[in-house]
Amino acid sequence: MSAHQPSTDQPPSGRLSSGHRLEARGLTLAYDARTVVEDLDVRIPDGRVTVIVGPNACGKSTLLRALGRLLKPAAGAVLLDGQELARIPTKRIAQRLGLLPQSPTAPEGISVADLVSRGRQPHQSWWQQWSPEDEAAVSEALERTSTADLAERSMDELSGGQRQRAWIAMALAQGTDILLLDEPTTYLDIAHQVEVLDLVRRLNVERGRTVVAVLHDLNQAARYADHLVAMRDGRVVAQGPPGDVVTAELVREVFGLDSVVVPDPVTGTPLVVPGAPWVAEAEKAAVVEA
């Protein structure tokens, strides 16, 4: 390892840090012949929550996969601590960067504690399979995600929200400064969505973790993101704080949707309200008459 590279033992950078440990430069991503993302630059602010939004098939999940070394770039590079991801041994990456795919699958019948304990793999070796640090990290992860009571339960028996908390606990036990989440709220009802996003927010604030998440819901993105990246057709259309970025023009440009953007009555962040729904001609006339 070269000397100038920051050590992973450094304390996580605080929320005020303006560094960029993770960034993509001139990134082109393709599946076989189909190019999904072309010549994209993005810098992930340390210690912040970055949310990537955009319409279906805009390349947001593809970008996240590349940031997590699941997809090799066709051109350009993803840099972690200034070093090209492809050149860092995958286990070293796993010590610094954790990821939660969109629909992860666990071995059948595995208990929550067993699942979470497997997040410690990058810190273990053939002769160090379970250290006191592993033990501490797992119980802390269970504690923080409120899954300690579920520890003995089988993953198969849990509700969607509980299961997602267990997966996050596993990513947490991995003890990485950077966490990538691919649509962590998909398949959850609204209460569980809020629960998961609040958890992510807390981990960011209390532990200074850098979070990059792909979210479907623009309003949720505006509520939880410090930094918003809006994508369309494999390009970044706009990025910055949600208050600056989310406007009716942007929504039209990115999603092709007419909308009104008002302040969220609870948080004051931008709230996107789509234009009036379709109504039948007869109804329209009735509305006008009344």
* Closest distance to another protein from the beta carbon of 125 (Å): 9
What's the token pair of residue 180?
A: 């990538």
Comparison of 143 and 283: residue with beta carbon closer to another protein: 143
Going by C-beta distance under 8 Å and a sequence separation of 6 or more, which residues neighbour residue 283?
Answer: none
Does 98 sit near another protein (CB under 8 A)?
Answer: yes
What's the token pair of residue 37?
A: 């993302």
* Closest distance to another protein from the beta carbon of 140 (Å): 10
Among 56, 105, 256, 276, binds another protein (CB under 8 A): 105
End-to-end CA distance of the chain: 75
Among 45, 47, 76, 119, binds another protein (CB under 8 A): 119
Between CA 285 and CA 185 the distance in angstroms is 40
* Closest distance to another protein from the beta carbon of 276 (Å): 41
C-alpha pair distances (Å), 184 with each of 27, 214, 221, 239:
24, 8, 12, 21
Segment contacting another protein (CB under 8 A): 48-56, 116-124, 220-228, 277-285? 116-124
Secondary structure element (H or E) that encloses residue 208, with its range: none
Is 164:146 a contact under the CB 8 Å cutoff?
A: no
Secondary structure element (H or E) that encloses residue 251, with its range: helix 248-255
Q: Which of residues 37-96 bind another protein (CB under 8 A)?
A: 65, 68-70, 90-95
Does 107 sit near another protein (CB under 8 A)?
Answer: yes
Does 239 sit near another protein (CB under 8 A)?
Answer: no
What's the token pair of residue 255?
A: 């999603």
Comparison of 78 and 238: residue with beta carbon closer to another protein: 78
What's the token pair of residue 21?
A: 């440990």
Segment contacting another protein (CB under 8 A): 1-9, 20-28, 106-114, 226-234? 106-114
Angle between helices 160-173 and 190-207 (to 10 degrees): 20
Q: Which residues bind another protein (CB under 8 A)?
A: 65, 68-70, 90-95, 98-101, 103-111, 113-114, 117-119, 121-122, 126-131, 135, 138-139, 142, 151-152, 171, 174
